[in-house]
């Protein structure tokens, strides 16, 4: 690993619509390579293979033959899995609970052998050959201020790899390009970090999080959708059905089985929640957030009053795990009052119950349309900044506050800063 400084610049793609299916197939095959590798490498909790060379030797030929991917993407799939297994083994060594990595979120990893990074487009390998994808560029006169202008277009930063991602809600593709700068002055970095730490005491950045009973389990103010609440409910319902059948059987052995599957399920759901919290904290780290803001728990309970005890447990546990995990990080968890976060337009502030229809938010005043949970998450972050602006002491100790949004930060005066994330 070289330790050249890195920046990641997210770039929205204008994907040719007749190629979208190729990318979805590429993603399926890529994740399949990673999952097969994970199956192979994760043998028992105390015996896992963490050597990339060993994994490639054992798996590459078969995986290459079974998939339509280029050699490079097959290798990338194997390596991605081995890195995750390795991270899992590290956790086990620390005595933390973890389980075999599963790759189910939409992503494909590219490097210079499987992609080219050009001024206004990239070419990317797919199961169906190379595809050219145009960038949606920031406006010309604002570009200098954007990560795209500062890093992607700079001669000093060099695009070395990228992750292709897909937003299922907006149906947009994003390329998160990682750039390296081998000549970046080490002194310079330290100075820069020191300054931002100092500023951090004055001006914090918070990530808003909306929790839900249907759709995505958690949605952040930066537009990240974490886990599926529907999936969690589905798993729980399966357990209930099985329990019901066993209860009807009524034998002693069926009673023991009920106990066993019950405790296996609670292990599984705790693991699942831990992994979702990790995704949330990764996002917080990615956007350099200082605080993670939820709606207060009492509301979470009311909001899901129609939901099951299990769902109430899951949300409380999720927040509890988040609070526990941030203890050794430079982060805090805090809460806002939930009133109207789902009805308020995060764009113009207009609040009306007609703005929200299930998962769709459409502002009756300014016409802003967006996923309703994402809108709520932005309101949660903005509301917290309002508290700080009006003098409430923040847990981070600063006097001003910015909300972390998809491509930058927004302060209470409505000034938007694009940021390198
Ligand atoms: Zn509006």
pLDDT for 94 beyond 60? yes
Report pLDDT for 397. Answer: 65
Q: What is the C-alpha to C-alpha distance for residues 312 and 297, in angstroms, rounded to an integer?
A: 10
- Of 7-11, 105-109, 154-158, the range with the highest mean pLDDT is 105-109
Locate 101 and state its tokens.
């990595």
CA of 414 to the centre of ligand 1 (A): 14
Q: What is the C-alpha to C-alpha distance for residues 102 and 264, in angstroms, rounded to an integer?
A: 18
Report pLDDT for 183. Answer: 67
Helix, strand or coil, per DSSP, at residue 52: helix
CA of 355 to the centre of ligand 1 (A): 9
For a pLDDT cut of 90, what percent of the chain falls above it? 42
* Mean per-residue pLDDT, 296-310: 66
pLDDT for 214 beyond 60? yes
pLDDT for 376 beyond 80? yes
Q: What is the C-alpha to C-alpha distance for residues 108 and 31, in angstroms, rounded to an integer?
A: 8
For a pLDDT cut of 70, what percent of the chain falls above it? 86
Report pLDDT for 307. Answer: 60
41 band by pLDDT with thresholds 50, 70 and 90: very high
Lowest mean pLDDT among 48-62, 155-169, 335-349, 391-405: 391-405
CA of 10 to the centre of ligand 1 (A): 26
193 band by pLDDT with thresholds 50, 70 and 90: very low
CA of 362 to the centre of ligand 1 (A): 8
Could you state, in order of their start, the residue ranges of all structural domains in the chain? 6-180, 199-418
Report pLDDT for 296. Answer: 85
State which H helix or E strand residue 269 sits in: helix 252-286
Q: What is the C-alpha to C-alpha distance for residues 171 and 167, in angstroms, rounded to an integer?
A: 5
Report pLDDT for 331. Answer: 84
pLDDT for 29 beyond 90? yes
Report pLDDT for 187. Answer: 36
pLDDT for 189 beyond 70? no
pLDDT for 129 beyond 90? no
134 band by pLDDT with thresholds 50, 70 and 90: very high
CA of 85 to the centre of ligand 1 (A): 45
Residue 351: DSSP 8-state: B
Q: What is the mean pLDDT of the chain?
A: 84
Is 293 or 43 the better-scoring residue by pLDDT? 293
The angle at the Cα of 110, spanning 146 to 17, to the nearest 5 degrees, equals 75
Neighbours of 187 (CB within 10 A): 8
* Mean per-residue pLDDT, 378-400: 79
CA of 192 to the centre of ligand 1 (A): 37
Say if residues 410 and 137 touch (Cβ distance below 8 Å). no
Locate 246 and state its tokens.
């066993």
pLDDT for 203 beyond 70? no
Q: Read out DSSP for 85-133?
A: HHHHHHHHHTT---------SSEEEEETTTEEE-SSEEEEEEBTEEEEE
């Amino acid at each position: 690993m070289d330790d050249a400084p890195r920046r990641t610049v997210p770039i929205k793609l204008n994907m040719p619509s007749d190629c979208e299916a190729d990318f979805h197939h590429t993603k399926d095959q890529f994740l399949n390579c990673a999952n097969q590798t994970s199956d192979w490498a994760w043998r028992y909790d105390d015996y896992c293979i963490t050597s990339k060379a060993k994994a490639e030797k054992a798996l590459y030929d078969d995986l290459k033959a079974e998939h339509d991917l280029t050699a490079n993407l097959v290798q990338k799939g194997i390596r991605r899995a081995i890195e995750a297994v390795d991270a899992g083994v590290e956790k086990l060594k620390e005595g933390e609970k973890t389980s075999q990595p599963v790759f189910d979120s939409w992503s494909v990893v590219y490097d210079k052998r499987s992609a080219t990074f050009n001024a206004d487009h990239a070419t990317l390998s797919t199961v169906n050959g190379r595809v050219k994808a145009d960038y949606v560029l920031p406006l010309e006169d604002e570009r200098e201020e954007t990560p795209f202008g500062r890093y992607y277009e700079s001669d000093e930063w060099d695009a070395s790899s990228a992750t292709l991602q897909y937003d299922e809600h907006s149906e947009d593709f994003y390329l998160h390009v990682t750039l390296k700068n081998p000549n970046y002055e080490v002194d310079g970095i330290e100075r820069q970090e020191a300054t931002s730490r100092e500023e951090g005491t004055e001006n914090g950045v918070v990530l808003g999080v909306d929790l839900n009973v249907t759709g995505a389990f958690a949605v952040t103010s930066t537009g990240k959708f974490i886990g599926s609440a529907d999936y969690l409910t589905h798993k729980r319902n399966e357990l209930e059905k099985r329990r019901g059948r066993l209860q009807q059987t009524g034998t002693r052995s069926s009673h023991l089985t009920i106990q066993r599957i019950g405790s296996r399920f609670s292990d599984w759901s705790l693991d699942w929640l831990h992994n979702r919290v990790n995704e949330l904290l990764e996002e917080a780290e990615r956007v350099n957030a200082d605080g993670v803001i939820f709606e207060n728990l009492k509301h979470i309970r009311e909001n899901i009053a129609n939901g099951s005890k299990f769902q109430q447990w899951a949300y409380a546990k999720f927040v509890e795990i988040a609070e526990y995990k941030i203890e050794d990080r430079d982060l805090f968890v805090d809460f806002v009052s939930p009133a109207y976060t789902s009805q308020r337009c995060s764009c113009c502030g207009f609040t009306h119950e007609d703005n929200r229809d299930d998962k769709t938010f459409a502002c009756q005043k300014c016409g802003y349309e967006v996923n309703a949970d994402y809108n709520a998450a932005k309101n949660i972050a903005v509301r917290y900044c309002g508290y700080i602006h009006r003098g409430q002491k923040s847990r981070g100790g600063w006097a001003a506050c910015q909300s972390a949004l998809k491509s930058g930060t927004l302060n209470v005066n409505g000034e938007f800063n694009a940021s390198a994330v």
